[in-house]
Structure 1
């Protein structure tokens, strides 16, 4: 009986390292978020024995160029990796490092395998560059990127209309909000346990439209609570 022919392709792409875990005696399994093909898992043969096999590039936060052998299976095989964008300013700042790690964790949980997400790529690499340059406070930068990331992958929070009946909320007014259900819920539709102030609601709506308003530390923390609830709802309990 003839054996089926396995189609083998090579993926060449910029990538971010999302996860790196031991596998078998000396191999590792890496999870990458690639610019061209989305999230991909790959075996790194003898990855624990020799960093030279992958160019010493198995570090998160930097942008890599990876070469993956792909046979259409769940896991590809990493053939080469090298750093193409270094972010040493980021890795030297604990607050920035924490913000970046949170964003990469969200990517790993909310993006399905092998689905290109070019807007999510731009959002997260843009956040990493911002954190590296120390242009904004890390938590504020993370809050802005987080709302955009939700929109990028199809889970945008609605800050102007009730997600159940579609009724608009008057500008400047506080509103009930349930991030796990997608955004505002008016009182006629039962409301929600949480509320968001009118000014912050307007700034959040501006962020989802691509603007970059100034956020206070309190604003950022309130928005990150909402984002975390949304991520948990859409990632099977993983925040």
Structure 2
């Protein structure tokens, strides 16, 4: 369950993210009035098993809800909440018409939230990993192995002046960067981390230590790249950046 909104004096409108139908809204009648009926079940970011009754011309009616996994530590940790809110919003975005493909983000989101709740790996690494996997799932993973202009391979590119073209999603070497509008500067180390993590799973990624500066660089790039290609600016990203800046983890890399 992504969120709940009070409706009238006794009811709730719930936003659910489902394996088969993506993001949907349902009506929970008397959910606030009858505390015993859904006691402790309808909490944001909980994993539920639900039974719905369809109604012609109206939201489906929530008939039953069973708590499968509360993912409780996410709601008690502000930083975890910020990450989970951003991932949930990203996964629930319906791509614009003409997008490469419409991803089914449910399995990835479920896996990421479970890992976040259980502290299975560093939160910053998991944040980069989720965005990379969703980018690949959506069909617009950036081309980072060679310069898109001169075709020089990453291994042979000078680390000086390296960038990625946000619009095309291609790597730009320092010799070609002046021909690109709005290049996003990335270090060679960050590019190599992105390429490595793209092929890694949670277990493999949890065993490797990355420098905090490089993780921050990767995260900030993906937070610019992913929303641009989804055609949507997530409101939850503002909250995430606010929490990160409070902990002095703000993005220091920029376009241009």
Length-normalised TM-score, structure 2: 0.71
Partner residue of 2:210? 215
Secondary structure (helix, strand or coil) at the match of 1:160 reads: strand
> Is 2:223 the partner of 1:228?
yes
Task: Give matches, 1:146-165, under 5 Å.
Answer: 146-161=131-146
RMSD of Structure 2 on Structure 1 (CA): 3.1
d(CA) in 2 for partners of 1:222 and 1:73?
47
Instruction: Check the 8 A contact 1:90/1:133 in 2, yes or no.
Output: no
Aligned length: 219
d(CA) in 2 for partners of 1:83 and 1:111?
30
Partner residue of 1:121? 106
Q: Deviations over 1:150-185 (max 9, x none)?
A: 22233323322456x693542274431133543434
Q: 1:69 to 1:162 in 2, by over 3 A?
A: farther
Structure 2 gaps of 5+ residues are: 238-256
Displacement of 1:149: 1.6
Partner residue of 1:14? none
Secondary structure (helix, strand or coil) at the match of 1:79 reads: strand
Displacement of 1:84: 0.7
Instruction: Check the 8 A contact 1:150/1:156 in 2, yes or no.
Output: yes
Structure 1 gaps of 5+ residues are: 1-16
Task: Give matches, 1:42-53, under 5 Å.
Answer: 42-53=26-37
Partner residue of 1:84? 68
Displacement of 1:34: 0.9
1:200 aligned residue (180, 183, 190): 190
Spell out structure 1 runs of 4+ moving beyond 6 A. none
Displacement of 1:205: 1.4
Displacement of 1:52: 3.6
Displacement of 1:199: 2.0
